[in-house]
Structure 1
Amino acid sequence: MLAAPYARFIDPLSDFGFKRLFGTEANKDLLIDFLNELLAGERTIRDLTYNQNESAGQRPVDRKAIFDLCCTGADGEQFIIEVQRVKQKFFKDRCLYYAASLIRDQVKTGEPDWGYELKPVYLIGLMEFTFEGARPNEYIHHIRLTSKEESTVFYDKFGFTFIEIPAFSKTESELVTGLDRWLYLLKNLSNLNHVPTVLSKPVFDKVLRIAEVCNFNQQEKMAWDAYLKAKWDNENSMKYVKEEAWETGLKEGREAGLEKGREEGRREEKLVVARSMKAKGFELQTIIEILGLTREEIEQA
C-alpha cells in the first residue's frame, strides 16, 4: 500500500521508510522486537549486528547478492530481510540464492579443519503481493526443510518466512498478538491520521515518532520529498505506459477485427461464386484453381 501525498507518516515498506525504521543501530530494538514476534516459539533474538548489505561471492566472477537488510544475531544466526513490492517471476529463486549465499560465505577459504558446522540462516520476505494459489486469510508462510514422510523438521537452521501484507485483513478490534500489531502497522501506517489505542506500547510509540514526517530534520525532509517525487514520477510513467498499451491494444484489436471481417466477407463471396459455378457444371479442379478454395470448402458450399 503506497503512502498518500503528504501523509502524516512515512510508508514503512518504501526503501526510505524501511531503512529509517529498521536499518540503523539506533533503531535495532524495533527490528529485534519484530523478529521475536515473528519467530516466537522457534528462536529468540537477544541482539543484532548490522552487516554489509551484499555478498560478493568467493571468486571475482561470482555474482553479488544485494540484500535490503542483513544482520547477525548474538548467537551467530543470520537474517536477511527483503521487501518486495511487485510480483516478480523468480522471486522465490532469488530468495533461495540470497539465503544460500550466506551459507556459502560461512566457509572461509584456507580453513582446512572446518567441520561443516553452520550457523542458522533465515530470510524474511515482506511482500506487497500474494503467492498464486494461496488460501484466503493465509498471510504468513513459514518454510522449513521437513521430512516428506513424517512432516517433521529435518533441518532447523535454514528457513524462509514470507508475509503477504495484502492478505492481512484484521481490523483494530481484532488485533490480539504483538505480531498482529506489527503487521497492522506495516500495512496501514502510511494512511493513519490518528494513532489507534491498540498500538499504545513503547515499541510502537517509537515507531510512530520516527515515522512522523513532522519530526524530520531538514535533510530528512528533503530525502523524503525526493523519494515521493521519484515515486509519483514512476507512477505517472507507469500509468502513461499502461494507457498507451491499452489504447494500442484497442486499436490493434479493432483493426484485426475489421481485417478478420474483410477476410470472412471475401471467403463468403468465393463460396457464393463456387456454388454458382458448381450449378453451371464447372469441374471441381477448375473452381479450385480460379477461387483458391480447398476441395472440402467447395464440396460443402
Structure 2
Amino acid sequence: MKWKVSPFNDFIFKKLFGTVGNEELLKAFLNAVMKDKNLPLIEEVTIIEKLELEKNHFEEKLGIIDVHAKTDKGEVINIEVQLCNEYNIDKRTLFYWSKLYSSNIKKGQNYEVLPKVITINILNFNYYHEKWVHLFFTPTADVDSNLKMNELEVHFIQLPAFRKRHEKNFKTHELERWLTFLTQSANEEELEEIVAMDQEIFKVYEEIKHLLSDEEVLAVAEAREKQFLDYNSAINHAEARGRQEGVELGIEQGEFNKSIEIAKNSIENGLDDELIVKITGLSIEEIKRLRNELNK
C-alpha cells in the first residue's frame, strides 16, 4: 500500500479531488475538514476544472495547483496544496481569497450576490506552531465571539505537524483517518484497516492505484516530486552555507552579513530574486546588486 509518490503530490491530488466525476470523493474529504471544526456539512459539490498541471507547466517552478468547487448553497471552495514554504502563506491566502470573493460580482449587481468563500490550504510545512494540525480562521467581533463575518472562512492543515503526532485517532476521528491514509503515517495493517472501514477512502485508494498504473501519469507525478525535492535541497543548501559562512565572518557582523551570504548562495543555486527576498528579508535592489556582482 506504500506508493511511489504521495497523494499530496499536487498533480495526483488534483487528479483525485479536482477532476469532474470525483465529486463524492471531494465532498467526503471536505466534510471531514468541516466536522473537525463542527461546521455545517456540504450536501453537494460541483468541481470547476481550471488549470491542469501538465509537462509544459514545469517551468513554473512554484506553480500552485488548486481544486476549485462550488457547493449546493453557492459557496465557493478553493483547496490548495502547497509543498514549498514561500514564507508568505498568510498574506497570499488573503490576497487570493479576496480575488475569488470579488470575482463573483459583476458591475451593477448588488453586493448580496457575493458568496461565502472557503479556502483550505494543505501545507507540507509548518507555517504556524507545530502543535497545530488544523487551524480555522474567521473574523469575530471584539465584543461577542458569536458575532462573525461568515463570508470569510480559512483553514490551514499542517501535514508535518500531523505526521509528528505519535498517536493518531483514526478509528473515531474522520479527518485524522483521511490524513493518516493520505500521508501514509501508519503501518500496513493500520492502513488496510482504514481502507476497510471507510467506503470513500476505499474509493480514493482504488483511484490512486488506477492513476499510478498509468505510466504517463506516474512519470509526470515523479517529475513533480523530484522538482519539489530539488527545490528544497537548493534552499537548505543555500541556508546552510550562508549560516556557516556567517560564522566564519564573525557573528559581530550581524544578521545582515548572514542574509547577504544566504542570498549569494541562493543566487548560485538558481533561485529567483523574489523568492530570495522572502527568504532573506533583503530588498530587491540589494539582490539585483549581488546578482550583478556575482556575474562579473
- Please confirm whether the aligned pair reaches a TM-score higher than 0.5, indicating the same fold: yes
Q: Which of residues 7, 23, 30 in structure 2 aligns to 1:12?
A: 7
**Once the two structures are superposed, what CA deviation does each residue of 1:100-147 show, in whole Å capped at 9, x if it has no partner?**
112211211244xx2534321110111112234x262x2111101101
Aligned residue for 1:203, secondary structure, equals: helix
Query: For residues 26 and 115 of structure 2, what CA distance do their matches in structure 1 show?
Result: 20
Query: For residues 146 and 206 of structure 1, what CA distance do their matches in structure 2 show?
Result: 38
Query: For residues 30 and 238 of structure 1, what CA distance do their matches in structure 2 show?
Result: 30
Q: 5+ unaligned residues in a row in structure 2: which ranges?
A: 52-62, 254-296
Q: Which of residues 125, 128, 134 in structure 2 aligns to 1:129?
A: 125
Query: For residues 141 and 161 of structure 1, what CA distance do their matches in structure 2 show?
Result: 6
Q: Which of residues 195, 201, 205 in structure 2 aligns to 1:199?
A: 195
**Once the two structures are superposed, what CA deviation does each residue of 1:218-277 show, in whole Å capped at 9, x if it has no partner?**
7x32221233135336535754675577568656855x47xx9xxxxxxxxxxxxxxxxx
Residue of structure 2 equivalent to 1:74:
72
- Given that 1:8 and 1:192 are in contact with CA atoms closer than 8 Å, whether structure 2 keeps it comes out as no
Query: For residues 127 and 119 of structure 2, what CA distance do their matches in structure 1 show?
Result: 16
Residue of structure 2 equivalent to 1:42:
39
Residue of structure 2 equivalent to 1:107:
105
Fraction of identical pairs, as percent: 21
> Does residue 31 of structure 1 match 2:29?
no
Aligned residue for 1:156, secondary structure, equals: coil
**Once the two structures are superposed, what CA deviation does each residue of 1:15-69 show, in whole Å capped at 9, x if it has no partner?**
2210121011221111101111211342221222222547xxxxxxxxxx97611
Check 1:147–1:228 CA distance in 2 against 1; reply closer, same or farther (3 A cut).
same
Aligned residue for 1:39, secondary structure, equals: helix
Counterpart residue type for residue 77 of structure 1: E
How many residue pairs get aligned? The number is 234
**Once the two structures are superposed, what CA deviation does each residue of 1:186-224 show, in whole Å capped at 9, x if it has no partner?**
2227x8655331332211111111112xx3487x32221
Query: For residues 203 and 150 of structure 2, what CA distance do their matches in structure 1 show?
Result: 33
- Given that 1:129 and 1:165 are in contact with CA atoms closer than 8 Å, whether structure 2 keeps it comes out as yes
**Once the two structures are superposed, what CA deviation does each residue of 1:137-161 show, in whole Å capped at 9, x if it has no partner?**
x211110110123222322232101
Check 1:73–1:233 CA distance in 2 against 1; reply closer, same or farther (3 A cut).
closer
- Given that 2:11 and 2:65 are in contact with CA atoms closer than 8 Å, whether structure 1 keeps it comes out as no
Check 1:10–1:253 CA distance in 2 against 1; reply closer, same or farther (3 A cut).
closer
Check 1:182–1:230 CA distance in 2 against 1; reply closer, same or farther (3 A cut).
closer
Greater CA radius of gyration, 1 or 2? 1
- Given that 1:28 and 1:48 are in contact with CA atoms closer than 8 Å, whether structure 2 keeps it comes out as yes
> Does residue 235 of structure 1 match 2:233?
no
Query: For residues 222 and 126 of structure 2, what CA distance do their matches in structure 1 show?
Result: 25
Q: 5+ unaligned residues in a row in structure 1: which ranges?
A: 1-5, 55-64, 261-301
Query: For residues 233 and 135 of structure 1, what CA distance do their matches in structure 2 show?
Result: 25
TM-score, structure 1 length as denominator? Answer: 0.66
Residue of structure 2 equivalent to 1:186:
182
Aligned residue for 2:3, secondary structure, equals: coil
Query: For residues 107 and 188 of structure 2, what CA distance do their matches in structure 1 show?
Result: 54
Counterpart residue type for residue 46 of structure 1: E
